[in-house]
Amino acid sequence: MNVQDQVTRLHGMMRVGQAAKYLGVSAETLRNWDRAGRLVATRHPVTGYRYYEPKDLEKFLGEIIKERMPS
């Protein structure tokens, strides 16, 4: 896959600030989760910026809610 194809694939994805606002956490929290492998971002092939799929954020949010629900 060439760089242009990779950049095109990022269309519709959220940058760190947008994703953080969506989840109600700080951008640094998202970066920490990415480093820990908890919520892995897709990286821009040239800039290295993190991007998140909205569906992945929704799935992650659902998992966090399940974790916090009493058994």
| 3 state SS of 68 | helix
pLDDT computed for residue 15 by the predictor? 93
| Continuous H helices in 10-53 | 16-23, 27-36
pLDDT of 18-33, one tens digit each? 999 999 999 999 999 9
Paired sense of beta strands 42-43 and 14-15, if any = unpaired
pLDDT computed for residue 5 by the predictor? 67
pLDDT computed for residue 7 by the predictor? 60
pLDDT computed for residue 1 by the predictor? 67
pLDDT computed for residue 68 by the predictor? 87
Residues of the chain with pLDDT under 70: 1, 5-9, 71
